[in-house]
Amino acid sequence: MRVAIVTDIHANRQALEAVLAAIDESECESTWCLGDVVGYGADPDACAELIREHAGICLAGNHDLAVTGAMSAEDFSEIARLAAEWTASVISAQTREFLESLAPSDESQPVSLYHASARDPVWEYVLSPLQADLSFEVAPARISVVGHTHVALAFHRFDGEVATGETRHADDELDLSDGHWLLNPGSVGQPRDGDPRAAWLELDTEAWTARWRRTEYDIEGAAWAIRAARLPEPLAERLSFGQ
């Protein structure tokens, strides 16, 4: 099966709509979301509705959990906390119910799915080979897919070797048929790897291949919506830089 994997949407309707349109034009048969549907952006209800409509699987991210009150936002940055508080005050009952229904991991698929990592599905940022190695030790599947870092990455470990990895760019393709792998699609709504385009991943669970994708979207429109909602200005500014 060929699957489109999205994550870290952060209520960026413009980015999500563009990615979903690109997925419709691809050969992907299903869409999976690894969480953080809301947070930072100005359109939480619209993004929740789009994910409900298009994603066969959706996980809970730390921002989703903070917005519903399932976890505290005390450890968030001030900007993230303000965005979570604003989101909690404006979302519909339907959006809140949807977010409350989500869990941060799913180990029932051909690959293990986590918002953050196998060791800590909510909070751990897997940004180093050591962290990937530790995740390989506890994930039940040979391949895991995670979000949370907002950076497109791939780590791998072959038998008898230590884990290695690197950032991934648009149209990078990998053969996943051997070894252990930890993949991160990058962020739909707020990339932080220097490429402002919305990021997502195509995963083929039969051929065991992965391809990283980037999609242009209306960044100015998303920034305008953030400013119109009177959310913190850096949330609008950073979209143009992919930081």
CATH number of the domain where residue 133 is located: 3.60.21.10
The pLDDT value recorded for residue 115 is: 98
What is the distance between the alpha carbons of residues 202 and 237, in angstroms, rounded to a whole number? 29
Q: What is the pLDDT of residue 74?
A: 85
Contact 67, 128 (CB under 8 A): no
Residue 161 has pLDDT above 90, yes or no: no
* Residue 225 structure tokens: 């919506």
Q: What is the pLDDT of residues 46-104, one digit of tens each?
A: 999 999 999 999 999 999 999 999 999 888 999 999 999 999 999 999 999 999 999 99
Total domains present in the chain: 1
Q: Which domain range does residue 235 map to?
A: 2-240
pLDDT at 71: 93
Provide the edge-to-edge strand list for the sheet that holds 164-167: 105-106, 112-114, 143-145, 180-184, 153-157, 164-167
pLDDT value of position 162: 86
pLDDT tens profile 81-92: 999 999 999 999
Residue 175: pLDDT above 90? yes
The answer, yes or no, to whether residue 160 has pLDDT greater than 90, is no
Quick one: average pLDDT of 11-38? 98
Model confidence pLDDT, tens digit, residues 111-146: 999 999 999 999 999 999 999 999 999 999 999 999
Mean per-residue pLDDT of the chain? 97
pLDDT at 232: 96
Torsion angle defined by CA atoms of residues 204, 147, 142 and 27, in that order, rounded to the nearest 10 degrees? 0
Confidence of residue 164 (pLDDT cuts 50, 70, 90): very high
Q: What is the pLDDT of residue 159?
A: 85
d(CA 229, CA 83): 10
Rounded Cα distance between 228 and 58, Å, is 28
